[in-house]
Amino acid sequence: MSLVGRWLAIQSYKHDGTLHRCWDRGLVLENNDDFIIVATKKAKVTESNGRKWHTKEPAVTIFSKKEWWNVICMIKNDGICYYCNIASPSIIHDYLIKYIDYDLDAKLFPDKTIRILDEKEYSHHKDRYGYGDDLDVVLNYQMKTDVEKMKNNTYPFVDDKIKRYFDKFLEMNKKHE
């Protein structure tokens, strides 16, 4: 059964299996062997402490099924802002997109500035959750690889491609309203 056109919830976990954050729904635009691509608009987010909020900008999110990342592509007035989470490969289970968040993040701004985020949180959680040396190597390698992709404007950091996904979302979403 194809999941394209279906709304799925998204769940982010920590390394110890505890629930970290949930998004109420994302519309599946594409689901293939490599990626799950969804789009959201004013998604309701629930934090592990129960706090709820709604996303400000519409977004296209690309979940890698094979590599250790997912990217939230926020559609802003001044361009696309990419928020890259270093995370486990994503899976779909019981109509939920699931992954483990590993704290390290990189942000690519519309002006092409890159900022590495949450290094202190990563260091703290590496000790707290016992990531281990092998996992640390994988996660740091993935961060370096993703920053290079940002610098070179290679997938998924390609504005035209993300705009096409977003246009597809707008067209599909009309059918759901």
Contact of 83 with 107, CB cutoff 8 Å: yes
SS3 of residue 147 by DSSP: helix
Bridge partners of 30, per DSSP, are 37
In terms of C-beta density within 10 A (0-12 exposed, 13-18 middle, 19 or more buried), how is residue 39 classed? buried
Q: 21 an active-site residue?
A: yes
Q: Reduced to 3 states, what is the DSSP secondary structure of residue 165?
A: helix
Please tell me which residue in 21, 25, 115, 128 is annotated as part of the active site.
Answer: 21
Cα torsion 162, 62, 30, 48: sign:
negative
Q: DSSP letter for 33, please.
A: S
Q: Could you list the active site residues? A: 21
